[in-house]
Structure 1
């Protein structure tokens, strides 16, 4: 595996959540800096040594609602 992609969203209760596409990995943190570390840690724990991705991509998703 060369790359893994996480969708990052602001959590309704505050902080941020990250969910991997194609893998059962989910994590959350209060700040983006802490979330980056949590994502790295979750990837290390999820994959066997040497089997994990060489790149972790964070895709930031932001919903915006406009009045019509």
Structure 2
């Protein structure tokens, strides 16, 4: 899952946004990747539980 999280940072904008948020909170690169991997596990579990497919969401941008 760690490698999956690392690979998805360039492919999925929502994953990259989550990673960047973790880095902004002061997490190291490895800590942010592990949190992203854990989030992806939670999404996979919810997909299996609900019998749904993955739908990438457009990350919300901060409005001033």
Whose strand fraction is larger, Structure 1's or Structure 2's?
1
TM-score when normalising by structure 1: 0.33
Larger Rg: 1
TM-score when normalising by structure 2: 0.34
